[in-house]
Amino acid sequence: MREQKQWGGQDEASQVIEQQRLAALDMQSIHYIDKDNAKFSLTEGGFVRMEFRGKTCERIAVHRCFPFTQPDDFLSIRDEEGNELGIIHHLSDLSKEDQELLTRQMALRYFLPKIQKVNSVKDEYGYSYWDVVTDKGACRFTCSNHNAVAKLSETRLVIEDIHGNRYEIEDIYKLTPKEIKKIDLYI
Amino acid sequence: MNLCFTLPEPERQSLDAHVGKQKPIYCVPFDLDTEGMWCCDGWVVVTGQQVVLIKNHQVEKAVAIEDCEKAECLKQEGCGILMLRTSGEDRIFARFSMAFLPRFSYLAKGIRLLRQGEEKTVQSREAERICPKCGRVLPGTAVCPRCSGSGRFTHRMGELMRPYAWKFFGVALLMLAATGLSLYQAQYQREFIDNVVLPESGGLSEIIGFGVIMLLIVALSLISNILKNRWTVILGSKISMDIREKLYVKIQELSLSFIDKRSAGELIGRITGDTTHIKNFMQQVFSGLISQIVTMVCVFIVMLVMNWQVALMALAMVPVIIVVTFVFRKKTRRLYRRQGRYEDITNSQLQDTLSGIRVVKSFGKEASEIKKFEQLNLKLADTQAYNEVFWATFFPFITFSIGLGTYIITYFGGLNVLGGSLTVGQLTQFISYAGMLYAPLQRMAFLPRMLSRTITSLERVYDVLDEETEVPQSRHPVELSIKGAVELEHISFGYLSYDPVLEDISLSVKPGEMIGIVGSSGAGKSTLINLIMRLYDPDDGRITVDGVDLKEIAHDSLYSQLGVVLQETFLFSGTILANLRFAKPDATMEEVIQAAKIGGAHDFICKLPDGYNTYVGESGNTLSGGERQRIAIARAVLGDPRILILDEATSSLDTETEYQIQEALGRLIQGRTTFAIAHRLSTLRNADRILVIDKKRVAEVGTHEELMKKKGIYYHLVTTQLAMNNQLVPPPPGPGGRGPGGPPPGGMFH
């Protein structure tokens, strides 16, 4: 038949299908990483290298699955292209040195300053201008008056400024009443 | 967006010491140190030969451009990293927050260009978000309304008012007349009291005379006020109509890349909201404010002349009234904004649950949704009650503070009357003047706010009006009768210039050839088609039609010979007939029906009660996705285009209809250059050549047979789709089996 010739036979076609089936299967299963099956090392350039399942990735990215609720559990390790290599169930599954290495790597990837002190919030024409002290130092930022604040819980807030930087208030009741009054209008 | 900041003096000196005479090409500050703490003294400078990092006023590190094997801006969560690869090692060069991420993306692209030895530098088309001068957010404009100066504002207002200069002059005269009359009214009252009532010298005739004259004054001032208000309202509407029209025309002319940067909602806001602000401002200013200010000044002068001590006393109350109103309004604004927030939250909760009611019910979550709403509702009710109580309690204080001024004048004026230095008539005149002095104050307290809002609106309007059209018409447009040869020459394009969507695409298409475009979603297929339609101009390279650059072809000439069927079919509000004729307004009914038949739309249109006169669009009949798509195909057919673009043109149709329309399209594309995007590869069976786009570039191009032999991406796609169809239907002997409604065996790929 004419098509038979074009496809180069049923065999090759089924090979392609088989490949894709395996890829799909691999995508669906969880590969846990722990101190026995993976090796981490710091690269000269300040990134982290990982050897796992016979492959070496020169620059891994650590993605937190639950960045707000369980920052040290379920860490998805991905390669430069963003494909998942494996998951670390608990950070404590790794050796002390590796834990430190990955913690530093996560600090590189996640930037979410925690607001500790509110100096002032000024409101002008639909935007609020904040002057605060965070755990990363003092800073000023600007928010739109619409949808800038996301409530993680009744007391925990994440505020997003116009550039997309985010700031966390871990517990609003840890702020002084005066500070709460300043931000009251926005939360 | 500024990519070359000016370095402060100490930084510049240490840079000069390091790089000598090299001038910075890019210079961008960064705001995070290596430990991820905020910092404010970091700079990355790129000269022709080096990438330099300056921190603490000192050059901290430097990398030669020729050593940068790779330069990339890595987006992290809430921050970014400038990564340079030197001697085979990825290295962190600088860290920054999201505020600088776009700038560093441009900078990385700039380093890559320099490394390739290219002359050109990256330019950012994006606007700044924050005014570099005052630090305020720019309201989506290129120039800061607060920093642009009042000259600009008055100039623009003048520009808008100029066509109506005479009418405004008339309004000004009426304004003066009304002011004069109200001043005179009090004056006349005084004379009546002092000369007629107190000496008891007049009789009935004087009193009747007084009544008549007062009536006359009141009538005259009424008439001049009515006229003045009518004129200002009409003028305000006319001016805002002018602006709306100018804006609309301009937006139609502007390129998509300008419109992409702003959402449709924002542009609608500018056309309706901002023009309304300007209108309201004009009406307020001309119908009330100016005459009130004139009145206030005149009143005060007259008061000074009459008795300067009491006049000054009256003036002393002015700041008190302003402060009281200002404080009160500020507080209430805060309260009502909070109420507004709760209203928003409650509304969005309602919106959420009601539009997701099926999900709520199917998961049996009614009770928890009710509880959630009850809490919000209670909070809203509390806020509302508090606000109403606050208003009711404190509003009387404002009335009191105004009244206070009058009491003081009555008291001191009364003392003067008893002392003989003031007559009773003068006192009444004083009291009515005090009213004229205080009444407008409440409104005046908010003049600054109103003014700044208008300045912003005006700036937002002129931001659009002043924008240069980015896809400009050529100065000598060519009228071309298109044969259909399309040439893509090394095209590169990105919606953001640091983030290319297509890179170095070249393809030569013969007249009448059909090109199938294949690639994974997001590969840039639709972007390529947008470029061929000239919705955007490529950043690099050029597109020619019959050897003429797309930019040189006259707008009308190009679009009248271009037919488009897109994935999302948009029908304008109007009849089906009007929608079909959008491409060719003078089409005869016969042509319309013929086109509808080819598009497979005739049958269902005839079954509609109103036939071709059926009203569709936002408020009209709702047609299904397939029906809309068929109308779109008919619309394209009617234009009899030389170049046809089909972007997933038959994706919303069921398999059977798709097959029928594919047949019709097969006839339609005969002799027309066609570009067709499709996920279902069987729809590309008529294509002369297939273009596979992968990772922004042309991965494969050739006939179906050539690509199948190559066993590349296309081969994989075809095999997978075929296998999926085989799974659907048990394969008959041989691999010819496919889903229901497919073309007869052997007809699928030939």
ipTM of the complex: 0.87
Residues B147 and B256 placed together within one structural domain of the fold = yes
Cβ within 8 Å of B, A 129-158: 129, 134, 136-139, 142, 144
Handedness of CA B545, B547, B548, B549 (dihedral sign): positive
Classified as helix, coil or strand, B92 is strand
Beta strands in B256-358 (DSSP E): none
Residues B36 and B93 placed together within one structural domain of the fold = yes
Pick the range with the lowest mean pLDDT from A167-181, B257-271, B333-347, B385-399: B257-271
| Bridge partner list, B646 | B565, B676
| Bridge partner list, B621 | B616
**Residue B734 above 70 pLDDT?**
no
Residue with tokens 């010819």: B736
Q: What is the pLDDT of residue B469?
A: 63
Classified as helix, coil or strand, B689 is strand
- Other Cβ atoms within 10 Å of B527 Cβ, number: 22
**Mean pLDDT within B384-405:** 84
Domain residues for the domain of B706 are 480-561+686-750
Q: What is the pLDDT of residue B497?
A: 65
A24 at interface of B, judged by CB pairs closer than 8 A = no
Cβ neighbours of residue B599 under 8 Å, at least 6 residues apart?
B630, B631, B632, B633, B634, B635, B636, B637, B661, B664
- Cβ separation of B37 and A137 shorter than 8 Å? yes
Q: Which of A171, A168, A175, A129 is nearest to A149 (CA)?
A: A168
Q: What is the pLDDT of residue B269?
A: 77
Which secondary-structure segment (H or E) carries B305? helix B290-306
Q: Which residues of chain B make contact with A164, given a CB cutoff of 8 A?
A: 78, 98, 101
B178: left (phi over 0), alpha (psi -120 to 50) or beta: alpha
- Cβ separation of A136 and B38 shorter than 8 Å? yes
pLDDT digits (tens, 9 = 90+) for B177-226: 888 888 888 888 888 888 887 777 777 888 888 889 989 998 998 998 89
Residues B155 and B286 placed together within one structural domain of the fold = yes
Q: What is the pLDDT of residue A10?
A: 62
Residues B262 and B313 placed together within one structural domain of the fold = no
**Residue B728 above 70 pLDDT?**
no
Residue with tokens 């901002």: B274
**Residue B3 above 50 pLDDT?**
yes
**Contact yes or no for B25/B48 (Cβ under 8 A):** yes
The C-alpha of B720 sits at a distance from chain A's nearest C-alpha, in angstroms, of 6
Higher pLDDT, B28 or B734: B28
Query: What CATH code is carried by the domain that includes residue B159?
Result: 1.20.1560.10
Pick the range with the lowest mean pLDDT from A84-93, B375-384, B723-732: B723-732
**Residue A166 above 90 pLDDT?**
yes
Residue B448's pLDDT band (cuts 50, 70, 90)? confident
Residues B284 and B149 placed together within one structural domain of the fold = yes
Q: What is the pLDDT of residue A19?
A: 80
Cβ within 8 Å of A, B 705-724: 705, 708, 711, 715-716, 719-720, 722-723
Does a structural domain hold residue B204?
yes
Does a structural domain hold residue B678?
no
Q: What is the pLDDT of residue B263?
A: 66
Q: What is the pLDDT of residue B737?
A: 39
Q: Which of B198, B627, B274, B30 is nearest to A126 (CA)?
A: B274
The fraction of chain B above a pLDDT of 90, given in percent, is 10
Cβ neighbours of residue B125 under 8 Å, at least 6 residues apart?
B257, B496, B497
pTM for the whole thing? 0.72
C-alpha–C-alpha distance, residues B432 and B409, integer Å: 10
Average pLDDT, chain A: 85
**Contact yes or no for B49/B21 (Cβ under 8 A):** no
C-alpha–C-alpha distance, residues B70 and B108, integer Å: 9
pLDDT digits (tens, 9 = 90+) for A121-161: 988 777 889 999 999 999 999 988 777 888 888 889 999 99
Does a structural domain hold residue B247?
yes
C-alpha–C-alpha distance, residues B502 and B496, integer Å: 11
The C-alpha of A142 sits at a distance from chain B's nearest C-alpha, in angstroms, of 8
**Residue B731 above 60 pLDDT?**
no
Pick the range with the lowest mean pLDDT from A123-127, A168-172, B457-461, B547-551: A123-127
The C-alpha of B98 sits at a distance from chain A's nearest C-alpha, in angstroms, of 5
The fraction of chain B above a pLDDT of 70, given in percent, is 93
| Bridge partner list, B509 | B486
Q: Which residues of chain B make contact with A111, given a CB cutoff of 8 A?
A: 32, 36, 76-79, 97
Average pLDDT, chain B: 83
Handedness of CA A110, A116, A119, A120 (dihedral sign): positive
Residues B160 and B294 placed together within one structural domain of the fold = yes
A6, A46, A165 ranked by CB distance to B78: nearest: A165
Residues B183 and B250 placed together within one structural domain of the fold = yes
DSSP states along B232-254: HHHHHHHHHHHHHHHHHHHHHHS
Higher pLDDT, A29 or B667: A29
Q: Which of B301, B320, B270, B714 is nearest to B516 (CA)?
A: B714
Q: What is the pLDDT of residue A77?
A: 92
- Cβ separation of A163 and B129 shorter than 8 Å? yes
- Cβ separation of B36 and A108 shorter than 8 Å? yes
**Mean pLDDT within B440-466:** 78
Q: What is the pLDDT of residue B28?
A: 92
Strands A70-78 and A84-90: antiparallel
Cβ neighbours of residue A46 under 8 Å, at least 6 residues apart?
A108, B91, B92
C-alpha–C-alpha distance, residues B102 and A139, integer Å: 20
Strands A127-134 and A137-144: antiparallel
pLDDT digits (tens, 9 = 90+) for B418-437: 888 888 888 888 888 888 88
Q: Which residue of B has its CA nearest to A45?
A: B91
A12 at interface of B, judged by CB pairs closer than 8 A = yes
Neighbour-count burial for B350-387, b at 16+ CB within 10 Å, e otherwise:
eeebeeeeeeeeeeeeeeebeeeeeebeeebeebeeee
- Cβ separation of A6 and B708 shorter than 8 Å? yes
C-alpha–C-alpha distance, residues B607 and B146, integer Å: 60
C-alpha–C-alpha distance, residues B173 and B494, integer Å: 57
C-alpha–C-alpha distance, residues B287 and B230, integer Å: 9
C-alpha–C-alpha distance, residues B705 and A7, integer Å: 10
Does a structural domain hold residue B344?
yes
Q: What is the pLDDT of residue B748?
A: 42
C-alpha–C-alpha distance, residues B376 and B288, integer Å: 42
Residues B263 and B368 placed together within one structural domain of the fold = no
Helix ranges restricted to H, B420-541: 424-438, 441-444, 447-465, 525-532
Q: What is the pLDDT of residue B729?
A: 53
Compute chain B's Rg from CA coordinates.
Answer: 37
Q: Which residues of chain B make contact with A2, given a CB cutoff of 8 A?
A: 746
Cβ within 8 Å of B, A 74-103: none
Q: Which residue of B has its CA nearest to A108?
A: B36
C-alpha–C-alpha distance, residues B750 and B682, integer Å: 11
| Cα B555 versus chain centre, distance | 25
**Residue B20 above 90 pLDDT?**
no
**Residue B391 above 70 pLDDT?**
yes
B417, B420, B422, B428: CA torsion to nearest 10: 30
Structure-block tokens of residue B228: 């003045």
Does a structural domain hold residue B643?
no
A16 at interface of B, judged by CB pairs closer than 8 A = yes
C-alpha–C-alpha distance, residues B562 and B569, integer Å: 16
Residues B378 and B325 placed together within one structural domain of the fold = yes
**Looking at the 3D structure of chain B, how many domains does it have?**
4
- Cβ separation of A67 and B36 shorter than 8 Å? no
Residues B361 and B385 placed together within one structural domain of the fold = yes
B309 at interface of A, judged by CB pairs closer than 8 A = no
DSSP states along B167-232: HHHHHHHHHHHHHHHHHHHHHHHHHHIIIIITTT---HHHHHHHHHHHHHHHHHHHHHHHHHHHHH
Q: Which residues of chain B make contact with A47, given a CB cutoff of 8 A?
A: 90, 92
**Residue B5 above 80 pLDDT?**
yes
Which one-letter amino acid corresponds to residue B397?
F
Residues B284 and B188 placed together within one structural domain of the fold = yes
Residues B159 and B264 placed together within one structural domain of the fold = yes
Does a structural domain hold residue B347?
yes
Does a structural domain hold residue B614?
no
Classified as helix, coil or strand, A67 is coil
Q: Which residues of chain A make contact with B77, given a CB cutoff of 8 A?
A: 67, 109-112
Structure-block tokens of residue B133: 């001068």
| Bridge partner list, B564 | B645
- Cβ separation of A8 and B705 shorter than 8 Å? no
Most confident by average pLDDT, B296-305, B621-630, B727-736? B296-305
**Mean pLDDT within B694-716:** 88
**Residue B486 above 60 pLDDT?**
yes
Query: What CATH code is carried by the domain that includes residue B95?
Result: 2.30.29.30
**Contact yes or no for A49/B89 (Cβ under 8 A):** no
Q: What is the pLDDT of residue A1?
A: 38
Does a structural domain hold residue B637?
no
C-alpha–C-alpha distance, residues B187 and B663, integer Å: 91
Strands B574-575 and B562-565: unpaired
C-alpha–C-alpha distance, residues B498 and B75, integer Å: 13
Most confident by average pLDDT, B174-178, B327-331, B494-498? B174-178
Residue A2's pLDDT band (cuts 50, 70, 90)? very low
Higher pLDDT, B738 or B130: B130
